[in-house]
Each structure stands twice: as structure tokens, then as C-alpha cells.
Amino acid sequence: MNKQIITITGAAGNIAYSLIFRILSGSIFSDNVKIQINLLDITPALGILKGVKYEIEDCAFEKLDSIIITDKPDEAFADSDYILLVGAKPRSKGMQRADLLLDNASIFQKQAIIINEVAKKTSQIIVVGNPANTNALIVQHFAKNIPDENITSLMRLDQNRAKSILSNKLKQTVDSISRLIVWGNHSATQYPDLTNTLISGDDSLVKKIDMTWIIETFIPRVQKRGAEIIEHRGKSSAASAASAIYDHLNALVNSSNDWESMGVMRSNDYDISNEIFFSYPLIIENSIISINNDLKLTDDSFKYIKESEAELLTERNIIRSILKD
């Protein structure tokens, strides 16, 4: 039997309450793999974690090996294969995700220092807590023992949103849509890009879409979808975020036939700084992520992605003093 250890931070929170159960009931890992799940939250949330643990047990998941609940990051991260950094403050109505930066930065700084000490060098880290791309930069800075390639931030929620909105527009199934990618920051400057998108391998339907719909409806709708959810639910997205984390993890473990969107810090051919976590069109083969550097960008696309880069460079400037430590 093969065992994988998955750590989830913020395990008493909203996203985790969907995520844990998706992972344990899902099919990312093959049948001969058992999962040890390490659940980390802060001390006042230990009571909630105990309830979550009982509920996990009550599901009698065949894939479950064991559960650790803890408020000690070193215990949670030790020997972990996948570290899902969810635990952080969410925004509320009227806030931008970047408004969380200074509140959440210290969480990621402290955890990254401990990850650096106790985690496996091969561990894959997925940063979810907002602002996810810049928190990933903090993790990269303080967890130098983990290769940069093993750190990614969540953009799959944006990619899924874009796919679903396009699917409704064209009355085509989501699984017929490919090569729909989201560039940039997980924020209102992200650029959902239909330039190369195919429906059942063909570009003719997408090419017929009116540009006014793309510019005035599609792009802003995807960019502001998180805020739209908060407006209606009073809380930020949780089940859809968990589903996107599941998809992201699945792509890392099992690779992907389609282009993926994730925040990565890499040299690239698109004139984007390699000192920020930025979402590109990615190819994942044999669990190795590479940027698809072959796309020709229109002037408009280039403008969008440079705007998102500028925002991420501003976020990096805001945390510059933290990165000096």
C-alpha cells in the first residue's frame, strides 16, 4: 500500500469543509493509495476540527488512512506530500483581495518558515489563501528548501468560471471546451483569454463570438465573479473553490490533456517578471509543469496581461519589507 500525506490549513473553515470530503471521496489517487490527512487550524478552532474529524470518520472513506488534527504547523507539515495552504482571512463585501495582504502575509511567512524546516523537499505546495499569488511569493521566499517549481497558486477557479460562462453562452458542454486560459493575478485584473479556445477541437464557434460580448460581458464577469458570489452569499466562494483546488491537485498528480491555469514563478517568453507568481497557459505532462511559450499575443491581450503584472508588482512592493527578513 502506498500512502500520501495531504495537509490542509484553515481546516476548520468553509473551503476545507468541502475540500476534505472531495479529496477523500474523489479519484485523484489510485485505489491502492491511502490518504493521511493532516488538518491544521488555530488553537480556538481545535473544537471544530474535532467535529470535522468525527464527520470524516463517519463517512467511512475507503481511501482514508488516518487523520491528524492539530494547531501545530510543524506537526501538520511533517512529511507531507501535498500542502494546501487555505487558512487565511477571506475578504468581505466591498474589499479587494489585495486588502487582505498585510493581514494574511504573516500567516504565510510563519508557515513557510516551518515548511522549510520540516516538509519534504518534494512536497507540492498549493497556495489558496488570498491574495493567493503574492502569498505564494512569500512562501517561495521563506521556504527556499522547496524548489520554486513545487509552489503554485490557485487560478483554476477562474478558469472553471470562464469555461462555465462560455459554455452557457454557446450552449456547448464544458468538456467540449479546451485551451481557455486565464492569465495573471487572481484578482479583477486577471485576463480570461478566448484567443486560442476550441470547441470540440474547432475554433469556428468561438471566432464568431461578438468582441463586444467578450470585452464588456465575458472578461469583467469572470474578473468579478468572486465579488458577485460574496454579494449574494454574504461569504466568499467555498464549494466552488474546493472543487477548483481538487481540479488543480488532480492536474498536478495526473497531468492534463488541456492547457491549465495556475500561478507559477518562472522565466517566460511573454515579457512578464519572473519574480512574481503569474498565471500562464501551462502544459502539464508527467506531472511536470511548463509554460506554453508559443502563443502570439494580440496587442489587446498584451495590454491586459501587463496590467495584471503591474498589479502583482505593486503587491510585491507592499510586502517588500517582509521579503527583506
Residue 295 host element (H or E): none
143 binds, among ligand LMR, ligand NAD, none (CB under 5 to 8 A by kind): none
- DSSP letter for each residue of 5-59: EEEEESTTSHHHHHHHHHHHHSSSS-TTEEEEEEEE--GGGHHHHHHHHHHHHHT
Distances (CA, A) of 131 to 22, 91, 103, 186: 23, 10, 10, 7
| Residues touching ligand NAD, count (CB under 6 A) | 28
| 189 lies in the site for ligand LMR, by CB under 6 A | no
Residue 238 host element (H or E): none
251 binds, among ligand LMR, ligand NAD, none (CB under 5 to 8 A by kind): none
| 130 lies in the site for ligand NAD, by CB under 6 A | yes
179 binds, among ligand NAD, ligand LMR, none (CB under 5 to 8 A by kind): none
| 229 lies in the site for ligand LMR, by CB under 6 A | yes
| 237 lies in the site for ligand LMR, by CB under 6 A | yes
CB of 190 to ligand LMR, least distance (A): 10
Part in contact with ligand LMR (CB under 6 A); list of ranges 25-33, 235-243, 251-259, 271-279: 235-243
| Bridge-based pairing state of the strands 288-291 and 278-285 | antiparallel
Part in contact with ligand NAD (CB under 6 A); list of ranges 20-28, 195-203, 237-245, 278-286: 237-245
**Secondary structure class of 208 (helix, strand, coil):** coil
Contact (Cβ atoms closer than 8 angstroms) between residue 81 and residue 75: no
Binding residue for ligand NAD (CB under 6 A) from 7, 14, 124, 187?
A: 14
Binding residue for ligand LMR (CB under 6 A) from 109, 123, 130, 197?
A: 130
248 is catalytic: no
Neighbours of 317 (CB within 10 A): 10
- DSSP letter for each residue of 115-149: HHHHS-TT-EEEE-SSSHHHHHHHHHHH-TTS-GG
Per-residue cell: 106 = 504573516
Pattern 38-67, ligand LMR, x by CB under 6 A: ------------------------------
229 binds, among ligand LMR, ligand NAD, none (CB under 5 to 8 A by kind): ligand LMR
Q: Which residue is nearest to ligand LMR (CB)?
A: 226
- Please say which residue, 113 or 297, places its beta carbon nearer to ligand NAD: 113
Part in contact with ligand LMR (CB under 6 A); list of ranges 39-47, 144-152, 229-237, 313-321: 229-237
Cite the DSSP H helix spans in the chain. 14-25, 46-58, 73-77, 101-118, 132-142, 156-170, 204-207, 211-213, 219-223, 225-233, 239-254, 299-318, 320-323
Binding residue for ligand LMR (CB under 6 A) from 73, 226, 263, 281?
A: 226
User: What does the alpha-carbon distance between residue 298 and residue 232 come to, in Å, rounded to a whole number?
Assistant: 35
CB of 236 to ligand LMR, least distance (A): 4
Binding residue for ligand LMR (CB under 6 A) from 63, 91, 248, 316?
A: 91
User: What does the alpha-carbon distance between residue 168 and residue 215 come to, in Å, rounded to a whole number?
Assistant: 17
| Bridge-based pairing state of the strands 82-85 and 177-178 | unpaired
Annotated active-site positions, please? 186
Footprint of ligand NAD (CB under 6 A): 9-10, 12-15, 40-42, 45, 86-91, 107, 128-130, 132, 154, 157, 186, 236-238, 241
